[in-house]
């Protein structure tokens, strides 16, 4: 056995970000030192890079104090990997426990909030619909999208909408509305459009608008409830609201702006 007291090369292992004691890849010093240990049978403890010790590839020589002997990697893996595997098992157990606990709270949350804010709510009667729209307007934070099929809108509907829309615009809410081309010849609707566009509203028209709906921000919408008069459906389901937003934005890109003064 050769007793080599020469210093070991400097260890430059790339350390693992998850465990600073275990190298991500072996360095040249570790490979060279382990080869020397295999060839010579043992090495002085001072000649061993720290990474070989953390991997349990070199252990104390009981017959020669101050020296280390090489260990086969398969054998070393039991000592090197056992703490890591134990930690993984513990983390998985913690993960399962956390999921189970959160699932219990999720059920409680759904139980409490389901009756408060259902995804779909049928609204019956003009007064009820009007109050729901007022609540949507007051809670709006960024943008209102509306689409109206058919020709000009009734004067009493526009008169009811105008104060609500102007108040929204004046507090910085963006408002975009789609009509059909036929409104360009309707004086009542044009008068309304002139007032809201003066406050920043954007109005465009298409040859045909298929659906009537209104969307507040991206989390609340109102659509007709089938063909039943004076009924509406309040929509809070994220996927349905997202669908209406995409439908509107695609139609908006094809629509023509309305300029009331020209009309």
Q: In sequence order, what E strands does the chain have? A: 14-15, 23-25, 43-44, 58-60, 67-70, 120-124, 143-147, 174-180, 202-206, 213-216, 220-224, 231-235, 256-257
141 contact partners, CB below 8 Å, separation of at least 6: 173, 217
pTM of the entire predicted model: 0.54
**pLDDT given at position 261:** 60
**pLDDT given at position 70:** 84
Report yes or no: 178 and 109 within 8 Å, Cβ to Cβ. no
Q: Which domains does the chain have, with CATH numbers?
A: 14-71 (no CATH), 120-257 (3.30.870.10)
What average pLDDT values come out for the chain (263 residues) when binned by 10 residues?
50 51 72 85 82 83 83 81 85 87 78 68 89 88 91 86 89 92 90 92 90 91 85 92 94 88 53
- Strand 67-70 and strand 43-44: the pairing is antiparallel
**pLDDT given at position 11:** 65
- Strand 120-124 and strand 67-70: the pairing is unpaired
**pLDDT given at position 84:** 82
**pLDDT given at position 7:** 52
């Amino acid at each position: 056995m050769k007793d080599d007291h020469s210093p070991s090369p400097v260890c430059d292992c790339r350390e693992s970000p998850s465990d600073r004691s275990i190298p991500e890849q072996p360095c040249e010093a570790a490979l060279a030192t382990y080869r020397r240990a295999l060839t010579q049978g043992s090495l002085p403890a001072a000649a061993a890079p720290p990474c070989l010790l953390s991997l349990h590839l070199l252990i104390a020589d009981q017959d020669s104090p101050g020296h280390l002997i090489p260990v086969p990697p398969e054998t070393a893996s039991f000592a090197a990997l056992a703490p890591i595997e134990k930690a993984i098992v513990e983390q998985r157990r913690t993960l399962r426990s956390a999921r189970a606990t959160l699932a219990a709270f999720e059920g409680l949350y759904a139980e409490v909030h389901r009756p408060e804010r259902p995804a779909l709510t049928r609204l019956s009667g003009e007064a009820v619909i009007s109050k729901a729209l007022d609540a949507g307007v007051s809670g709006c934070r960024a943008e209102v999208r509306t689409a109206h099929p058919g020709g000009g809108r009734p004067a009493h509907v526009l008169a009811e909408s105008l104060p609500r829309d102007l108040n929204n615009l004046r507090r910085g809410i963006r408002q975009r509305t789609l009509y059909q081309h036929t409104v360009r010849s309707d004086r009542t609707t044009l008068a309304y459009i002139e007032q809201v566009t003066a406050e920043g509203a954007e109005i465009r028209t298409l040859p045909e608008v298929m659906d009537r709906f209104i969307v507040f921000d991206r989390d609340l919408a109102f659509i007709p409830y089938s063909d039943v008069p004076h009924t509406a459906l309040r929509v809070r389901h994220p996927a349905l609201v997202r669908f209406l937003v995409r439908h509107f934005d695609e139609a908006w890109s094809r629509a023509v702006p309305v300029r009331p003064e020209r009309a």
